[in-house]
């Protein structure tokens, strides 16, 4: 096909100058596909937010889009048409329309963008048999819709689709003066090469999701999401629909809070039954308000919500916060209603918080939005928070106020129909008022998106999360070691640990950690200095710190001498510094100053018990003043053990630090802060590529095993060997036999002794039923063992004869696909005892080299591989490599859902590892697993 050929070609064009605007036609186009054609990939329907905060719907094209496509082409400016078709084309022929809209979604694909019921952009590719893996691409955006980022978005999505369908390279033909199109390709982060011939660039770009593509895409996502939430957090005007004169009602309370907080813009109460609320004239409908409305709170009974939101859409409201309940939390009918609500919100390009939530607030004095109905007036500060539970949200605000934790923004996300926790993270990422982010989570919309976003944000701002409940993993029946181990809450733990999220289990811990992170520098390391006026609590404190793995180092002679110079002879100065009960303000001031100035410590804890009535206030002042002078590389906290709580003298504007009532809580909070610091300091690691693997050999085995079935199946032993072998995982010499004679024949060809294992569908763990016989050196041994193992089960299907691998440690490397989190990879020691010990590390695939090494360090028994107490050393490098090879296998073969290499025998350093028992479960998948882009599946 010639590059300058007929209109049916796929020359790429986009973003010319805007002209001929008057020619734009508009046929309304359905956003929802009710009767999808064959092969229609519904998973690619999506509502995407653009960089200026507006939303478009993206979906695959269908035949009935022909009319809208024709209108789109008719509306193109002369230049656009020229760039797209390399000549001016006013309309498409019937044949072309058919070809462009009736596609197979594999070799030919087109995604369209819809805004305001109009087709506003097309991105397509078509591949030809002659060049497998390659496709020609073209992109076009309506002239009046340029500059919103639609072209870039289509490039990302079409490339992602192509990637998922085995297309590795795009070719685009671009006229040399179509600079805008070239800019879109470049902005999308694709590494491209181009050649020019007669004024036409041939641009080649790999569809690979390289680091630069990923970062360009993340950046676009961040800017777009944050912009879309601006009207929600920084509204110029607010309507309260369902505002009420009744001060007890929710509508009354919310309206009052907004007034009492002095919202800086105009506030419009809407209530058809009232004329005036708190001296402000009320409107019958949001449509009666003549001025623009940015944000509307909706506090009407559930059955009126849809109509009310429709009116908001008509009015041009940018954001809604739906307090009203009666949606997906109530069952099937509610789910349908919520879907309809979302449809209204998205087609209007609005954003929605809720439904079924308690509101939101932004304490920034630029707006002062207190849009929640609780009785608490929160303090303004640097902590942002989202809560999935409304009631808990109220309690949390209350608690935060008590603990002097100031809030920047708070959102009760309710059912998260539109605005999700992930969206909020993107808003807070760049929010100058927020230093610490708190999340109360009950479920994840899209854990993979969370991981990606959290990992990036965590580098700059700590994220502290409470995740209640367990994953759905707990409910499934597990038939492998890895599976039963993974049924704990491990996916969430793994996700948080890899993304640097500080996970806490109780609300108390949430606030303790937050009070520390929000007020103090992150500790540089684990060394803690302690000063006290009472020996007993100091011992408790040291115990608590050490049991958290923190270090209470003995001070150097110099530091001890310095302390001794002003402390009494009875004082202990080695750390903890026990100044004894008579110590007063002066001792605290001087000791703290010396400890804070010392480079022997990372954190300093002032522990104080009021022992007499005198000097209490002065001591509090002295501790505070020492904290005010603390250098910025020291973390300072107090433990103030008084049932009346810490006195007001202890805090000031200059020195904000947490004062805990008990040493244990201080120790726990400090541990979390140190963990976070360690995560920050950790190098990121790199992914490892193996060039000695043979993915095709594995694919063949897998394809054969699942041919003709929809079910998950276990690979047979030969298949397992081939797949492991293809990924460079060493297996013992082995054969499947059906008679004792064959077993003997094989054994004679093996150097040392052999092992016999029965092959049987009923025996999940063969040794449990006597189906394994080890270390067989002679022919009679082999014959006896054959009898023994085959009679151990009712359904022997054959016997596996294996070379016996003597000695060495036994480790487990496993994999389990969590339905929400994707593949988890596990590592542990202990062979058959692994479940008993439950000492296993899990991480979310894919792994970096450092992840794999960390896994060994994370299991307590991992030290056995280092030759603990005279035991044999193991080849740790080979274990790390084996874990990474498993990760590579999973990456290439999404059919693998469960895998158990147990045991892997670990020889001494330099001698590698051997997988002596393995089970691999596979199931058919359609194409590759595709990460969903948004948090909500977009089948509307
Ligand atoms: P299962 O896990 O079904 O009970 P395995 O094949 O793992 O069966 O065998 C049980 C145990 O026997 C292993 O944990 C290991 O200790 C030992 N074993 C199995 N195969 C070998 C072998 N080829 N060389 C040495 N030991 C083996
Ligand atoms: Mg086993």
Q: How far apart are CA 140 and CA 123, in angstroms?
A: 6
Give residue 594's pLDDT.
Answer: 96
Close Cβ partners of 423 (under 8 Å, ≥ 6 residues apart): 225, 228, 229, 935
User: Is the beta carbon of 767 within 6 A of some atom in ligand 1?
Assistant: yes
Helices 535-547/663-681 angle, 10° precision:
30
844: tokens are 């979310």
- Residue 826 falls in which region: left (phi positive, over 0), alpha (psi -120 to 50) or beta: beta
- Burial status of residue 612 (CB atoms within 10 A of its CB: 0-12, 13-18, 19 or more): exposed
Q: Which residue did the predictor score with more confidence, 648 or 853? A: 853
- The alpha carbon of 772 and the centre of ligand 2 are apart by a number of angstroms equal to 10
Strand ranges (E), 100-219: 108-115, 118-127, 134-141, 169-175, 193-197, 200-206
Rounded to the nearest integer, the mean pLDDT of the chain is 86
pLDDT tens column, 879-925:
999 999 999 999 888 889 899 999 999 999 999 999 999 999 998 87
Among the residue ranges 251-255, 308-312, 682-686, 698-702, the one predicted with the least confidence is 682-686
pTM metric for this prediction: 0.79
- For residue 850, pLDDT over 60 is answered with yes
Query: Which ligand is closest in space to the CA of residue 900?
Result: 2
- For residue 615, pLDDT over 60 is answered with yes
Contact of 172 with 136, CB cutoff 8 Å: yes
Half-sphere exposure of 520 toward its Cβ, with a 13 Å CA cutoff?
32
pLDDT tens column, 310-356:
999 999 999 999 999 999 888 889 999 999 999 899 888 899 999 99
Query: Which ligand is closest in space to the CA of residue 915?
Result: 1
- The alpha carbon of 564 and the centre of ligand 1 are apart by a number of angstroms equal to 63
- The alpha carbon of 916 and the centre of ligand 1 are apart by a number of angstroms equal to 6
pLDDT tens column, 815-848:
988 776 778 899 998 665 566 556 888 898 888 8
Give residue 311's pLDDT.
Answer: 97
User: Is the beta carbon of 470 within 6 A of some atom in ligand 1?
Assistant: no
CA-closest residue to ligand 1 atom 23: 804
Give residue 82's pLDDT.
Answer: 78
DSSP codes joined into one string, 300-316: S-GGGHHHHHHHHHHHT
Q: Which of 88, 38, 46 is nearest to 62 (CA)?
A: 38
Mean pLDDT of the region 408-424: 92
Query: Which ligand is closest in space to the CA of residue 830?
Result: 1
Contact of 241 with 308, CB cutoff 8 Å: yes
Among the residue ranges 83-87, 174-178, 582-586, the one predicted with the least confidence is 83-87
Query: Which ligand is closest in space to the CA of residue 774?
Result: 1
Give residue 833's pLDDT.
Answer: 56
Strands 46-49 and 502-504, by their bridges, are unpaired
Q: Residue 936 — very low, low, confident or very high, per pLDDT cuts 50/70/90?
A: very low
- The alpha carbon of 829 and the centre of ligand 2 are apart by a number of angstroms equal to 12
- For residue 242, pLDDT over 60 is answered with yes
Give residue 740's pLDDT.
Answer: 96
- For residue 390, pLDDT over 50 is answered with yes
CA-closest residue to ligand 1 atom 22: 804
Q: Which residue did the predictor score with more confidence, 862 or 249? A: 249
Helices 876-892/695-706 angle, 10° precision:
60
Q: How far apart are CA 56 and CA 46, in angstroms?
A: 8
User: Is the beta carbon of 774 within 6 A of some atom in ligand 1?
Assistant: yes
Give residue 578's pLDDT.
Answer: 94
- The alpha carbon of 917 and the centre of ligand 1 are apart by a number of angstroms equal to 6
378: tokens are 């929160």
Q: Which of 536, 775, 718 is nearest to 639 (CA)?
A: 536
pLDDT tens column, 1-51:
333 233 333 333 433 333 333 334 445 787 778 888 988 988 888 888 888
Mean pLDDT of the region 203-218: 81
Q: Which of 717, 912, 916 is nearest to 802 (CA)?
A: 916
Query: CA gyration radius for the chain?
Result: 33
Spacing of C-alpha 241 from chain mean position = 35
Work out the number of other CB atoms within 10 angstroms of the CB of residue 247: 10
Beta partners for residue 754, in sequence order: 776, 803
Half-sphere exposure of 656 toward its Cβ, with a 13 Å CA cutoff?
15
Contact of 139 with 14, CB cutoff 8 Å: yes
User: Is the beta carbon of 831 within 6 A of some atom in ligand 1?
Assistant: yes
User: Is the beta carbon of 916 within 6 A of some atom in ligand 1?
Assistant: yes
- Tallying the residues shown for the chain, one arrives at 940
- For residue 584, pLDDT over 50 is answered with yes
- The alpha carbon of 294 and the centre of ligand 1 are apart by a number of angstroms equal to 67
User: Is the beta carbon of 874 within 6 A of some atom in ligand 1?
Assistant: no
- The alpha carbon of 869 and the centre of ligand 2 are apart by a number of angstroms equal to 26
Close Cβ partners of 756 (under 8 Å, ≥ 6 residues apart): 743, 772, 773, 776, 782, 785, 786, 789, 799, 800, 801, 802
CA distances from 846 to 219, 327, 813, 815, 889 (A): 22, 37, 14, 11, 10
CA-closest residue to ligand 1 atom 6: 917
Q: Which atom of ligand 1 is nearest to the CA of 802?
A: 23
Q: Which of 720, 736, 799, 903 to mutate for ligand 1's pocket (most ligand atoms within 8 Å of CB)?
A: 903
Give residue 624's pLDDT.
Answer: 92
Give residue 440's pLDDT.
Answer: 87
Q: Residue 613 — very low, low, confident or very high, per pLDDT cuts 50/70/90?
A: low
Contact of 743 with 758, CB cutoff 8 Å: no
> What are the residues whose beta carbon lies below 5 Å from ligand 2 (ion)?
902, 917
pLDDT tens column, 459-484:
999 999 987 654 444 334 344 555 55
CA distances from 651 to 255, 528, 606 (A): 34, 21, 13
Q: How far apart are CA 603 and CA 599, in angstroms?
A: 10
Alpha helices in 127-248 (DSSP H): 150-164, 179-187, 211-233
User: Is the beta carbon of 805 within 6 A of some atom in ligand 1?
Assistant: yes
253: tokens are 């309370």
- For residue 403, pLDDT over 80 is answered with no
Mean pLDDT of the region 475-501: 66
Give residue 831's pLDDT.
Answer: 61
pLDDT tens column, 706-759:
988 888 899 998 999 999 999 999 999 999 999 999 999 999 999 999 999 999
């Amino acid at each position: 096909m010639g590059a300058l050929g007929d209109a049916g070609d796929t020359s790429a064009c986009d973003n010319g100058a805007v002209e001929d605007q008057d020619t734009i036609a508009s046929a309304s186009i359905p956003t929802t596909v009710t009767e999808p054609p064959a092969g229609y990939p519904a998973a690619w329907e999506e509502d995407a937010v653009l960089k200026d905060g507006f939303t478009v719907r993206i979906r695959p094209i269908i035949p009935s889009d022909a009319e809208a496509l024709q209108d789109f082409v008719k509306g193109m400016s002369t230049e656009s048409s020229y760039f797209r078709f390399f000549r001016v084309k006013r309309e498409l022929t019937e044949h072309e329309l058919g070809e462009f809209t009736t596609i197979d979604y594999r070799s030919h694909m087109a995604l369209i963008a819809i805004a305001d019921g109009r087709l506003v952009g097309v991105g397509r590719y078509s591949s030809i048999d002659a060049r497998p893996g390659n496709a020609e691409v073209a992109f076009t955006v309506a002239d009046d819709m340029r500059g919103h980022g639609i072209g870039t978005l289509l490039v990302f999505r079409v490339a992602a689709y192509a990637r998922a369908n085995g297309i590795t390279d795009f070719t685009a033909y671009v006229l040399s003066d179509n600079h805008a199109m070239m800019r879109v390709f470049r902005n999308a982060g694709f590494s491209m090469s181009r050649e020019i011939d007669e004024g036409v660039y041939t641009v080649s770009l790999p569809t690979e999701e390289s680091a630069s593509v990923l970062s360009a895409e993340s950046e676009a996502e961040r800017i777009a999401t944050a912009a879309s939430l601006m009207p929600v957090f920084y509204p110029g005007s607010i309507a309260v629909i369902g505002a009420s004169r009744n001060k007890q009602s929710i509508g009354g309370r919310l309206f009052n809070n907004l007034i009492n907080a002095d919202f800086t813009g105009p506030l419009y109460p809407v209530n058809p039954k009232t004329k005036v609320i708190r001296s402000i004239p009320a409107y019958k409908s949001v449509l009666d308000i003549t001025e623009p409305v940015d944000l509307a709170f909706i506090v009407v009974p559930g059955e009126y919500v849809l109509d009310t939101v429709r009116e908001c859409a008509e009015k041009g409201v940018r954001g809604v916060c739906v307090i009203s309940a009666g949606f997906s939390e109530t069952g099937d009918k509610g789910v349908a209603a919520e879907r309809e609500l979302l449809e209204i919100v998205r087609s209007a390009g609005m954003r929605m918080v809720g439904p079924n939530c308690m509101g939101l607030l932004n304490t920034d004095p630029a707006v002062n939005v207190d849009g929640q109905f609780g009785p608490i007036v929160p303090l303004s500060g640097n902590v942002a928070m989202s809560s999935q539970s409304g009631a808990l949200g109220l309690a949390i605000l209350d608690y935060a106020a008590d603990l002097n934790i100031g809030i920047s923004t708070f959102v009760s996300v309710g059912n998260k129909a539109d605005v999700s926790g992930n969206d909020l993270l993107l808003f807070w990422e760049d929010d100058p008022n927020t230093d610490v982010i708190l999340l109360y989570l009950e479920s994840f919309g899209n854990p993979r998106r969370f991981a990606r976003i959290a990992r990036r944000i965590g580098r700059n701002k700590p994220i502290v999360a409470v995740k209640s409940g367990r994953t759905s993993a707990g409910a499934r029946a597990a038939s492998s070691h890895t599976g039963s181990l993974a049924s704990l809450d491990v996916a969430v733990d793994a996700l948080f640990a890899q993304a640097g999220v500080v996970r806490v289990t109780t609300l108390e811990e949430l606030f303790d950690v937050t009070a520390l992170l929000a007020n103090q520098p992150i500790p540089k390391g684990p060394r803690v200095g302690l000063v006290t006026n009472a020996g007993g609590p100091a011992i408790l404190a040291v115990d608590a710190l050490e049991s958290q793995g923190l270090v209470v180092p003995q001070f150097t002679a110099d530091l001890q001498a310095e302390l001794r110079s002003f402390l009494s002879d009875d004082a202990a100065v080695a750390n903890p510094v026990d100044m004894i009960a008579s110590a007063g303000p002066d001792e605290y001031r001087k000791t703290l100053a010396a400890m804070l100035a010392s480079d022997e410590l990372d954190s300093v804890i002032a522990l104080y018990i009021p022992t007499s009535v005198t000097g209490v206030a002065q001591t509090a002042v002295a501790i505070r003043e020492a904290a005010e002078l603390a250098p910025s590389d020291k973390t300072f906290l107090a433990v103030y053990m008084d049932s009346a709580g810490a006195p007001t003298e202890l805090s000031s504007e200059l020195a904000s630090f947490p004062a805990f009532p008990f040493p244990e809580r201080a120790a726990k909070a400090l541990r979390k802060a140190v963990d976070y610091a360690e995560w920050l300091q950790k190098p990121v690691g790199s992914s490892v590529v193996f060039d000695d693997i043979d993915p095709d050999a594995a694919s063949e085995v897998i394809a054969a095993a699942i041919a003709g079935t929809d079910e998950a199946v276990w690979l047979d032993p030969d298949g397992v060997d081939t797949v492991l072998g293809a990924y460079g995982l060493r297996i013992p010499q082995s054969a499947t036999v059906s008679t004792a004679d064959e077993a003997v024949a094989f054994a004679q060809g093996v150097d040392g002794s052999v092992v016999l294992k029965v092959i049987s569908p009923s025996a999940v763990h063969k040794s449990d039923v006597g189906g394994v016989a080890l270390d067989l050196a002679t022919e009679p041994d082999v014959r006896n063992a054959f009898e023994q193992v085959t009679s151990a089960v009712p359904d022997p299907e054959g016997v596996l004869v294996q070379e016996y691998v003597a000695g060495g440690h036994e480790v487990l490397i496993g994999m389990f696909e969590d339905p929400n989190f994707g593949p988890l990879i596990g590592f542990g020691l202990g062979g058959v005892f692994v479940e008993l010990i439950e000492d296993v590390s899990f991480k979310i695939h894919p792994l970096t080299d450092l992840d794999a090494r960390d896994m060994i360090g994370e299991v307590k028994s991992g030290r056995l591989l280092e030759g603990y107490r005279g035991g044999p050393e193991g080849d740790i490098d080979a274990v790390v490599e084996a874990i990474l090879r498993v990760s590579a296998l999973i990456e290439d073969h999404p059919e693998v859902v469960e895998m158990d290499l147990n045991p892997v025998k670990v020889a001494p350093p330099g001698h590698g590892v051997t997988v002596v028992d393995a089970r691999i479960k596979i199931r058919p998948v359609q194409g590759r697993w595709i990460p969903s882009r948004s948090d909500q599946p977009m089948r509307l």
